[in-house]
Chain A
Amino acid sequence: KAGVTQTPRYLIKTRGQQVTLSCSPISGHRSVSWYQQTPGQGLQFLFEYFSETQRNKGNFPGRFSGRQFSNSRSEMNVSTLELGDSALYLCASSRLKGDTGELFFGEGSRLTVL
């Protein structure tokens, strides 16, 4: 069974630009969450999508947005990039069946903003 796939794995942008990151969840998983990982702040929740609807949202500015498609694939977008947006962006999928809460993470998209 294929794991969570994120693209691109690495990207470099300049301030003011925008970026779109993609995530393909494990087949059958309907929940997709996004996290930002930085050395200083650890893993911070961005948002979660379930059946194409944003179900939970973290405390990030409106420049961060996302969506989920009918095949459960998800994208996140960051507009007007700032230096502080440099981070590893992790996507995680989950089946959330019953009490099972395991998140399966992708390898992440490492964004560098210059």
Chain B
Amino acid sequence: GENVEQHPSTLSVQEGDSAVIKCTYSDSASNYFPWYKQELGKRPQLIIDIRSNVGEKKDQRIAVTLNKTAKHFSLHITETQPEDSAVYFCAASRGGSTLGRLYFGRGTQLTVWP
């Protein structure tokens, strides 16, 4: 089955700096890569996703890049704010009828210091 590795496990940045979280996957058939944010005590929520026919996607301060050849994708957060502090999970899926089955990385605890 799919194996998703996520690094780093913890990340501390100063407010206003950028944060980058990297993930690798093993299944070349995976074609859908979402990122979920989970604040302390809250449910995971989708923040951005990318499909394998796209190399980069941006949404305000958040961007995701995908390198299919190398089987890795990254989350970039610019101009970080304290409210960005949370655990971020990357995930991979084969899509289609398996969209409900996501393989998650183990998460990155991001702390943004004011």
Per the CB 8 Å criterion, the residue count for chain B at the interface is 26
Which of the candidate stretches A13-21, A78-86, A90-98 sits at the interface with the other chain?
A90-98
Pair B100/A50 contact, Cβ less than 8 Å: yes
Q: Any chain A CB within 8 A of the CB of B61? A: no
Which of the candidate stretches B10-18, B64-72, B76-84, B91-99 sits at the interface with the other chain?
B91-99
Pair B95/A101 contact, Cβ less than 8 Å: yes
Pair A33/B100 contact, Cβ less than 8 Å: yes
Pair B32/A105 contact, Cβ less than 8 Å: no
A interface, over-half SS? strand
Which range contains the number of A residues in contact with the other chain? Answer: 20 to 34
- Give every chain A residue within 8 A of B100 (Cβ-Cβ): 31-33, 48, 50, 55-56, 92, 94, 96, 103
CB closest chain-A residue, reference B32 = A101
Chain B residues within 8 Å of A, Cβ to Cβ: 1, 32, 34, 36, 42-46, 49, 51, 89, 91, 93, 95, 97-107
Minimum-distance CB pairs A-B, first 9: A48-B100, A42-B106, A101-B99, A43-B104, A105-B43, A56-B101, A33-B100, A31-B100, A102-B46
